């Protein structure tokens, strides 16, 4: 079987995960195989000598704050992450800019890969520290969505970071399996 949750762009067309059929004996192996294949592609991408140009300069509107900055300010705060987890769980995607009231800024683009990776790293930090299954569940979903992207959307440095994230994700699941 093929792991069924990375076959389309999940940021564009979010997955509901409702009544997921995952009782097959091979389901876990299929997931690991999918992640391993993604990591192999990411390793190649990470070694490519692509000239990394900076993010296109966009003037931040006065009434906007970047999600990246929010995530950088409070690296392991559950309370700070919670609203973004809810947004991701409900809408399946995030945006680069938000307003003070937590709503997306009307001029914002969807979040860039680097922002999603940072968000996932924060989830991973808390899941590792607390053993929280809630954070691990959302981490698994965002990793699905990142794995569903064409490899070329990631800069080489992002490809390396995402590969490292997948290794941490696998380690968290392995810990759960070993606890059985």
Q: Does 28 bind other proteins (CB under 8 A)?
A: yes
Contact assessment for residue 126 and residue 9, using Cβ atoms and an 8 Å cutoff: no
Tokens representing 148? 């569903």
* The one among 134, 153, 160, 168 contacting other proteins by CB under 8 A: 134
- CB 173 → other proteins: shortest distance, Å? 6
Q: Which range touches other proteins (CB under 8 A), out of 20-28, 36-44, 97-105, 118-126?
A: 20-28
Q: Is 178 in the site for other proteins (CB under 8 A)?
A: no
Segment near other proteins (CB under 8 A), from 23-31, 54-62, 64-72, 98-106? 23-31
- Residue 36 CA to residue 100 CA, distance in Å, equals 39
Token digits for 15? 């997955």
Find the binder of other proteins among 6, 10, 11, 31 (CB under 8 A): 31
| DSSP H helices in 16-91 | 27-47, 67-73, 78-91
Q: How many Å apart are CA 57 and CA 90, to the nearest integer?
A: 30
CB 69 to other proteins: min, Å? 25
Do the beta carbons of residue 119 and residue 84 sit within 8 Å? Answer: yes
Question: Does residue number 2 form part of the binding site for other proteins (CB under 8 A)?
Answer: no
């Amino acid at each position: 079987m093929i792991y069924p949750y990375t076959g389309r762009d999940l940021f564009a067309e979010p997955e509901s995960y409702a009544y997921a059929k995952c009782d097959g004996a091979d389901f876990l192996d299929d997931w690991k195989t999918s992640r391993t294949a993604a990591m192999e592609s990411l390793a190649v991408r990470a070694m490519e000598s692509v000239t990394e140009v900076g993010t296109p300069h966009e003037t931040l509107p006065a009434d906007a704050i970047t999600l990246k900055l929010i995530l950088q300010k409070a690296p392991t705060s559950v309370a700070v992450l919670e609203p973004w987890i809810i947004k991701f769980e409900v809408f399946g995607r995030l945006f680069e800019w938000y307003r003070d009231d937590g709503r997306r800024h009307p001029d914002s683009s969807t979040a860039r890969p680097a922002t999603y990776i940072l968000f996932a790293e924060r989830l991973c930090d808390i899941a590792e520290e607390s053993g929280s299954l809630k954070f691990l569940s959302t981490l698994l979903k965002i990793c699905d969505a990142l794995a569903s992207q064409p490899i070329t959307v990631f800069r080489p440095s992002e490809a390396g970071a995402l590969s490292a994230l997948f290794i941490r994700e696998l380690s968290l699941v392995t810990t759960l399996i070993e606890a059985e």
